[in-house]
């Protein structure tokens, strides 16, 4: 993969992890066993589509700003 593709893939994964982490119930954040059980039940792949959507929205906003 080219460097740009690797950077984009990294951004998608980080965004998906952030989205997933944002949805973790508060109780799960305080109990390591519950946290890992919740993470296992909510794999990162389910959040990748939402990450792409958020990245595309951000890109559209940047293009609009640049266009004036």
Task: Give the pair of three-digit tokens for residue 26.
Answer: 């508060």
pLDDT at 28: 86
Nearest to 18 by CA among 56, 49, 44: 44
Residue range 9-43, pLDDT digits in tens: 888 989 998 988 888 888 888 899 998 999 888 88
What is the residue range of 57's domain? 3-67
Q: How does residue 5 score in pLDDT terms, banded at 50, 70 and 90? A: confident
pTM: 0.67
Total Cβ atoms within 10 A of residue 38: 17
Total number of domains in the chain: 1
Sort 51 into a burial class: Cβ within 10 Å, 0-12 / 13-18 / 19+: buried
pLDDT at 1: 56
């Amino acid at each position: 993969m080219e460097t740009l593709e690797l950077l984009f893939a990294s951004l998608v994964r980080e965004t998906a992890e952030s989205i997933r982490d944002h949805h973790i119930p508060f109780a799960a954040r305080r109990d390591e066993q519950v946290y890992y059980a919740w993470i296992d039940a909510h794999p990162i792949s389910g959040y990748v589509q939402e990450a792409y959507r958020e990245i595309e929205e951000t890109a559209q906003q940047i293009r609009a700003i640049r266009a004036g």
